[in-house]
Amino acid sequence: MTSADPSTEPFEPSIAEPRAGRLRRLIVPLAVALALISATLTFVVLTGLTWIAPTRDVVVTFLLINAATVLLLVVIIVREVWKVVQARRRGRAAARLHVQVVSLFSVIAVLPAVLVSIVANVTIDRGLDRLFSGPTRAVIQNSLIVANAYLHEHAQMIRGDILGMANDISNARPLYDQDRRSFRELLTASAAARNLPGAMLIDKDRHILESAQTGIQRDFDVPAAEFLKNVNAKEPQIAVFIEANYVAAVIRLRGFDDTFLYVARLLDPHVVSQLRQTQASVAEYAKIESSRLGFQVTLALLFTVIALTVLMSAVLIGLNFANWLVAPIRRLMGAANLVSTGDLHVQVPVFKSEGDLAHLGETFNKMTQELRSQRDELVSASDLIDSRRRFIEAVLSSASAGIIGVDGSGSIGIL
């Protein structure tokens, strides 16, 4: 049996949804599940809850994956919205209700996502402003200044030590030429008096001529020959070896032929370790500050993509719910239109998955059955009355015309 929707589209209330339609409907939950899984994985990876390091390549990869899922959801949503618009244009049953339900769900899904996005971006921006504010920057810079002050202090100390030792050794040049042993003792005593674990005389070819016997078993790197060419006898050259925990100085000796005094002072390993950590922290802070804009843009993009994924999923779920809600109503409206034309044999398909709406369909089917039964009874009664009328008319038509009277005694007579 065929019937017409209020539009020109046919209505087959007794035919269930075709298999192809059911397969197409599976695309929606699969797409939503894929999008939500990708968004969840992105969040978990970016928060460092997995073994995957959130490097630039990883972030870009997850960004592209989420963008692809969002694009898929957008395509499905556009397709569903286009179907709703087309149904509205054709005047299909419940088309206006469908549009209203879809609009309501879209607004409900969009508003929270937009508000959360605005609040999140403002919060992140305010947090970064506080992180890179003047007081915070001053604390970090001051910590580096304090750490460098320790190195500067030792550099000044070794500068004074090497100048004093260079003066003593230059004055002891005759002793160097005449008695190397006594000269070595003088060099050792001078280094010990200044608490220098390393002191040596080297030539321009980096050969060690004499070395103080301080008793400390420690190797100190000898300056390169190219570096020694720039060393004079007035101002020592100072170098800090943080990784090796010592500071060194070298100066050209007066009265010697291309001979240099090279001394070293040990640094406190604990202080040096703290210094390295401070320098690394300051460098990391400067790196983050320089890449703040890129960090904000990347974070905003990722948050936007994740928010869009959740938003599109919510809109698509709303569209599906609207379709699920409107479909039985549309069937009922089409069937009611058939009933209005006198077709009481129409029945709407009932799907138990539709819940109370399925009960509404069952009630409609019972109503049409009852109306059909009552109409059949009325038709039968009308036919019976009509046949009796025709019988009476036939009997009366065969009788002669006359007047019958009754007298006072009760006798009947023809006048």
- In terms of Cα–Cα distance, which of 150, 135, 79, 72 is closest to 312? 72
Task: Specify the pairing of strand 259-266 against strand 198-203.
Answer: antiparallel
Confidence (pLDDT) at 118? 79
Its pTM stands at: 0.49
- CA distance between the termini of the chain: 65
Q: How confident is the model at residue 4 (pLDDT cuts 50, 70, 90)?
A: very low
**Tens of pLDDT, residues 18-35:** 554 556 667 777 887 888
Position with higher pLDDT, 16 vs 121: 121
| 3-class state of residue 302 by DSSP | helix
Confidence (pLDDT) at 10? 44
How many whole angstroms separate alpha carbon 384 and alpha carbon 386?
Answer: 5
Residue 3 has pLDDT above 50, yes or no: no
Query: Per-residue DSSP letters for 9-29?
Result: SEE-TTPPPPHHHHHHHHHHH
How many whole angstroms separate alpha carbon 225 and alpha carbon 207?
Answer: 10
| 3-class state of residue 4 by DSSP | strand
Confidence (pLDDT) at 228? 82
- DSSP-H helix ranges across 248-355: 269-290, 292-340
Q: How confident is the model at residue 7 (pLDDT cuts 50, 70, 90)?
A: very low
Confidence (pLDDT) at 399? 61
Cα angle, residue 340 at apex, residues 337 and 343 outer, rounded to 5°: 90
**Tens of pLDDT, residues 62-76:** 888 888 888 888 888
Average confidence (pLDDT) over 152-173: 86
HSE at residue 386, side-chain half, CA atoms within 13 A, is 6
What would you measure as the largest C-alpha separation in the chain, in angstroms? 192
Position with higher pLDDT, 52 vs 19: 52
Confidence (pLDDT) at 2? 38
Residue 193 has pLDDT above 70, yes or no: yes
Confidence (pLDDT) at 156? 84
**By CB neighbour count within 10 A (0-12 exposed, 13-18 middle, 19+ buried), where does 11 fall?**
buried
Q: Where do the CATH 3.40.1840.10 domains begin and end in the chain?
A: 154-273
Average confidence (pLDDT) over 112-132: 73
Confidence (pLDDT) at 387? 87
* Mean pLDDT across the chain: 77
Q: How confident is the model at residue 415 (pLDDT cuts 50, 70, 90)?
A: low
- DSSP-H helix ranges across 93-133: 95-131
Which pair of structure tokens corresponds to residue 396?
């009366």
How many whole angstroms separate alpha carbon 296 and alpha carbon 349?
Answer: 55
Residue 245 has pLDDT above 50, yes or no: yes
How many whole angstroms separate alpha carbon 288 and alpha carbon 316?
Answer: 39
How many whole angstroms separate alpha carbon 54 and alpha carbon 236?
Answer: 48
| 3-class state of residue 59 by DSSP | helix
Residue 6 has pLDDT above 50, yes or no: no
Confidence (pLDDT) at 73? 81
Residue 102 has pLDDT above 80, yes or no: no
| Residues near 333 by beta carbon (within 8 Å), at least 6 away in sequence | 5, 6, 93, 94
How many whole angstroms separate alpha carbon 43 and alpha carbon 59?
Answer: 10
Average confidence (pLDDT) over 273-291: 78
Q: How confident is the model at residue 400 (pLDDT cuts 50, 70, 90)?
A: low
Residue keyed to tokens 């978990």: 44
Q: 154-273 domain in CATH 3.40.1840.10?
A: yes
